Structure formats: structure tokens, C-alpha cells
């Protein structure tokens, strides 16, 4: 099926009543570290039947490479979207922002196939955006938050082009998980995104993950030092992408292993939970304050919001890596202090030192920020719905860990190959979860009561 979008004609492929258009440019090829440029047109009909390039990035480190699919495809046109549609007109639209700690991930992961959403009457759009240093390094001769600028460019593309796919630009829901959820929380809080969407879902994210630009500049400087160049857009542009990614990876690994506030900056360590070396910054131009503060002040009061977590989020980071098993009682207090937490919190939990650390970090990095987000939205006069996902992975010790809800949301259990889900994940649970996301996109209600300080309604899946 052919249609016309910004740039020219495209042709997709139809299977079982759903047409997929893959790898469509929503912006031009990134030039250096500039803001995203307009799409460059093409002649004739462009085949949109294969997945496009992905943003430059390293592979996941072991053992996470065996748990998360992360296809990496080289190519200049990585600022692209995938669109799945059943055809028609006036359909609700959902725009997906992937996770991956702002340094990994893409719209090409098989679990993000949007066919089930299209089957159920929603036009699904999956977005790529710049990652790592290229997307988020703070540089004196480049705009900050380039990855968020890319996301805004994609949303403007949706506004201007989605009607051609049968979508209603006046009924757009943005959603994302992990770094994608943090992106969504950021987008709902900034003036530049106003009017580009109407509903939002934050999965295992936070509205509190922002750094001061001066702090994140220290990380940029450390990467530049490893490369022997100035910490500028010109300096980074003089280096081959492979070298840049390698230096970024080495700094990220060292930062996670030894998150020294004196060296790496306090707000980055606290905001990222020690997991992420780069993420959005308060630059005074695009982002003026922490997203949670803006939401408290009413920035998202006109946006219907859903937010939630998995019950055992931090297990994903501490169990497969062996971190939890290696924590002793003596190590626990300094580990908590290094995360900016009171070591006395450990007395409120039972279990091994590793289990206690993981439970506290789940609460600190995921659960409490999610509740604070819902409370801020409600207090500002907006609507918020809260969920908790509790189905447990069959892998020992992981429980209901970070990222485990994803194939349930997308209804892609039939093609999920990660050992996270075992051989018989419950399709009936996917039916329930997926329907809630679809219902929210269509009606603004996922099927349970909004969060209120008195009732504190939380839907448990």
C-alpha cells in the first residue's frame, strides 16, 4: 500500500490486515551535533518494508546481552520511525520511545512490533533517537538534549503525517519504558512539547532523572580525555564513531563500578541510580527545571497520565550481574551511602544483604518516584492512573524485574525469545495488560480508578 509523507511516496507491506511501514525518516541525517534537520526528499516510491538503521551504540554488556534483544544496524538515516496501521481514519495513535539507559535500544527490537496495537484499532509509531554522547553529551558548541530534540521532531512528524496512515493527530498517546519512560516524563513537562500529544504512559521511569548541565559536562570531558580531543562538538566529530562508542562504553563501565561524586558529579549519580552515565539535563533552553517540579506546577495537568513499575525492578541490574550475591553485611552501609541513602534503611528489610540492597534500590529508583509523579499530577489537577506488574520470571532470583512487562504490553509473547519469559508465559495476562494500554489510548481510562491520596488505587497485574 502506497501513501505520501513528508519526503515523498512510501510503500509498506500488509499482513493479516495490518500494514507496516518501516524505517521512514522523520528528520534528516544528523550533521555533527546539531539539532535535527528537516527530512530530505527522495524520488519515486521508497520501499518501507525493512527495518531502518539504529542509532550508533555499543552492544549490551554480558549478561544483559542474553536477556534483552538489541539489534544494531549501521546507517546514516537512523532518525526513523516504524508505523503499523490497520487503515481507516480517525484512529487513536500511540508513539513508543524505547528504553536502554539513553545509550542502547531502538525501534527495531522484535518485542516492539506494533502489529497487535494495529490489530486492535491503534496506529502504533516506534521512534529512534540519538543516544549516548551523540544524544546527550553537554558541549559548548552544540545544543544540549539532542536526543529529546529528536523525540520532539518525531512528534511533530506524527502531527503532520499520521493522518495519511489513518491516525488522528488530535488523539496521540506517548509511552515509553525505562529511559523511554523518563523521556515521556520529560516531554510532558516542557513547553516545547505542548499540544503534540494528549495522553502519556510512563513505564518504570521517573520524572526526577535530570542532571545539571555543568555536572554532565564532567562526563563529556572524561570521554573526550580518553579520546585525546577537546570536549566540543568539533572535537567529538573528528573521531570515528566506533572509537567514540568505545570510549563512551569504557567511561560508563568505570562510572558504574566506582560512582565517585567528586569525580563524576553528585546529581548524575543520584539521578541515574548509578546505572546511567548520560541523560537529559537542565539546560535553561529546552528543560528549565526537574520534570517533577514542572508537573507539580501544572505543566501536565491537561495530559491524562498512566504510570507504574514492576514489583522487583532492581533485580534485573543486581542479580544477573552477580552484584546481589556478592554484597556482604559489611558492604551494605557504604553501598547505600554511595547511592545517597541512609544506611539505617536496611533495618526495615529482611533477607540477605544483596536482597535488602536490591529492595531498597527498587523503592528508591523506581517505586517512590512513580508514586511522587502520580501525586504531583493529581495535586496539580490532572488525572493519573497507577499500576504494578508482579508476574515473575522463571529465572531464579529475578522475580518481577525491570523490562519484564514489555511483551505483555505489546502482546508479543508468541515471539519473545528471552529466557526472562520462559517457555509458557501467560497469554491471558498479556491480553489483560495490552487491553489496558489500548483502552487508555482510546478513552483516557485503562479500566481502573484514578490515583487519589486517600484511596491510593493501584492496579496489580
Q: Is 74 left (phi over 0), alpha (psi -120 to 50) or beta?
A: beta
Catalytic residue among 178, 204, 206, 220: 178
- Distance from the Cα of residue 195 to its chain's centroid: 21
Residues in the chain, how many?
Answer: 461
Distance CA 382, CA 450 (A): 10
Residue 229 has which C-alpha cell?
A: 580531543
CA dihedral 367, 127, 232, 215 (to 10 degrees): -10
| Catalytic residue status for 402 | yes
Known active-site residue 98: no
E-strand spans in 183-237?
199-203, 211-212
Whole-angstrom Cα distance, residue 272 to residue 274? 5
Question: Taking the CA of residue 25 as centre, how many other CA atoms within 13 Å lie in the half-sphere pointing to its CB?
Answer: 21
Q: How many C-beta atoms lie closer than 10 Å to residue 140's C-beta? A: 11
Catalytic residue among 304, 313, 355, 405: 313
Q: Is 77 an active-site residue?
A: no
**C-alpha torsion sign, points 435, 167, 294, 287:** positive
For 11-56, give the DSSP string.
E-EEETTEEEEEEEESSPPP-TTPPPPPPPP-SSEEE--S------
What per-residue string of b and e applies to 7-29 under the rule 16 or more CB within 10 Å gives b?
beebebeeeeebbbbbbbbbbbe
Q: Do 169 and 93 meet the contact criterion of CB atoms below 8 Å apart?
A: yes
Cα(239)–Cα(244) distance, integer angstroms: 6
**Catalytic positions, please?**
178, 313, 402
Amino acid at each position: 500500500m502506497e501513501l505520501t509523507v513528508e519526503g515523498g511516496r512510501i510503500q509498506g507491506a500488509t499482513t493479516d490486515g495490518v500494514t507496516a511501514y518501516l524505517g521512514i525518516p522523520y528528520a534528516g541525517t544528523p550533521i555533527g551535533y546539531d539539532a535535527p534537520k528537516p527530512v530530505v526528499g527522495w524520488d519515486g516510491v521508497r520501499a518501507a518494508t525493512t527495518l531502518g538503521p539504529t542509532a550508533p551504540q555499543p552492544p549490551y554488556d554480558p549478561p544483559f546481552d542474553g536477556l534483552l534483544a538489541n539489534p544494531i544496524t549501521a546507517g546514516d538515516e537512523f532518525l526513523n520511525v516504524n508505523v503499523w496501521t490497520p487503515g481507516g481514519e480517525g484512529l487513536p495513535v500511540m508513539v513508543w520511545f524505547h528504553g536502554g539507559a539513553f545509550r542502547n535500544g531502538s525501534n527495531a527490537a522484535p518485542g516492539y512490533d506494533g502489529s497487535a496495537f494495529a490489530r486492535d484499532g491503534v496506529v502504533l509509531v516506534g521512534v529512534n533517537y540519538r543516544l549516548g554522547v551523540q544524544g546527550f553529551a553537554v558541549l559548548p558548541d552544540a545544543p544540549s538534549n539532542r536526543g529529546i530534540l529528536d523525540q520532539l521532531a518525531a512528534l511533530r512528524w506524527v502531527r503532520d503525517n499520521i493522518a495519511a496512515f489513518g491516525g488522528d493527530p488530535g488523539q496521540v498517546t506517548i509511552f515509553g519504558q525505562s529511559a523511554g519512560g523518563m523521556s515521556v516524563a520529560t516531554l510532558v513537562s516542557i513547553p516545547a512539547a505542548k499540544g503534540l500529544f494528549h495522553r502519556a504512559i510512563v513505564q518504570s521511569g521517573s520524572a526526577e532523572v535530570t542532571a545539571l548541565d555543568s555536572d554532565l559536562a564532567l562526563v563529556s570531558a572524561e570521554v573526550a580525555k580518553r579520546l585525546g580531543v577537546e570536549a566540543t562538538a568539533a572535537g567529538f566529530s573528528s573521531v570515528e564513531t566506533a572509537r567514540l562508542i568505545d570510549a563512551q562504553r569504557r567511561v560508563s563501565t568505570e562510572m558504574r563500578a566506582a560512582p565517585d561524586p567528586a569525580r563524576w558529579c553528585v546529581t548524575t549519580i543520584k539521578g541515574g541510580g548509578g546505572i546511567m552515565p548520560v541523560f537529559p539535563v537542565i539546560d535553561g533552553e529546552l528543560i528549565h527545571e526537574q520534570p517533577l517540579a514542572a508537573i507539580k506546577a501544572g505543566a501536565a495537568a491537561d495530559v491524562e497520565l498512566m504510570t507504574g513499575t514492576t514489583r522487583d525492578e532492581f533485580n534485573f541490574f543486581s542479580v544477573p550481574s552477580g552484584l546481589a550475591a556478592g554484597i556482604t553485611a559489611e558492604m551494605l552501609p557504604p553501598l547505600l551511602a554511595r547511592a545517597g541513602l541512609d544506611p539505617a534503611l536496611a533495618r526495615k528489610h529482611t533477607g540477605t544483604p544483596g536482597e535488602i540492597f536490591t529492595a531498597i534500590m527498587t523503592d528508591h529508583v523506581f517505586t517512590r518516584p512513580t508514586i511522587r509523579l502520580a501525586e504531583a499530577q493529581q495535586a496539580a489537577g490532572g488525572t493519573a492512573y497507577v499500576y504494578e506488574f508482579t508476574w515473575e520470571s522463571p529465572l531464579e532470583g529475578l522475580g518481577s524485574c525491570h523490562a519484564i512487562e514489555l511483551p505483555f504490553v505489546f502482546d508479543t509473547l508468541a515471539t519473545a525469545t528471552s529466557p526472562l519469559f520462559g517457555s509458557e508465559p501467560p497469554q491471558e495476562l498479556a491480553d489483560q495488560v495490552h487491553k489496558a494500554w489500548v483502552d487508555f489510548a482510546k478513552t483516557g481510562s485503562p479500566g481502573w480508578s484514578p490515583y487519589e491520596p486517600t484511596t491510593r488505587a493501584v492496579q496489580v497485574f
